[in-house]
């Protein structure tokens, strides 16, 4: 899985946990296991304000973009975040 981050100045919180291709985003579960190789699921088909880009599977890797809320004093790591590649199952750590 590759999670791209799109930072945005916001005061709300993003909490994500991962188990395989299933993400829980702020307590809501999203199961992406059925997305086949080469398919594109438009972000508009997923009822989640934090999913801001299409979800795809390329070379077996699920790829998606999440909105990353950033405070006014966010670090450079948060405002210019690197992709999260192959995160372990459990809570996903985001730059602060």
Residue ranges of domains in the chain: 2-83
Q: What is the pLDDT of residue 52?
A: 96
Q: Structure pTM?
A: 0.93
Cα-to-chain-centroid distance, residue 57: 14
Cα-to-chain-centroid distance, residue 51: 6
Low-confidence ranges of the chain (pLDDT < 50): none
Q: Residues 6 or more apart from 95 whose CB is under 8 A from it?
A: 5, 68, 75, 77, 78, 81, 82
DSSP state of 51: B
CA dist., res. 89 & res. 68, Å (int): 19
Q: What is the pLDDT of residue 96?
A: 79
């Amino acid at each position: 899985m590759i999670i791209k981050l799109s930072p945005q100045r916001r005061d709300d919180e993003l909490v994500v946990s991962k188990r395989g291709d299933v993400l829980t985003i702020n307590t809501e579960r999203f199961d992406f296991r059925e997305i086949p190789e080469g398919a594109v699921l438009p972000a508009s088909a997923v009822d989640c304000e934090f999913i801001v880009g299409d979800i795809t599977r390329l070379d077996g890797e699920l790829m998606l973009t999440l909105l990353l809320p950033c405070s006014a004093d966010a670090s450079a790591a948060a405002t210019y975040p690197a992709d999260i590649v192959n995160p372990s199952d459990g809570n996903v750590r985001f730059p602060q």
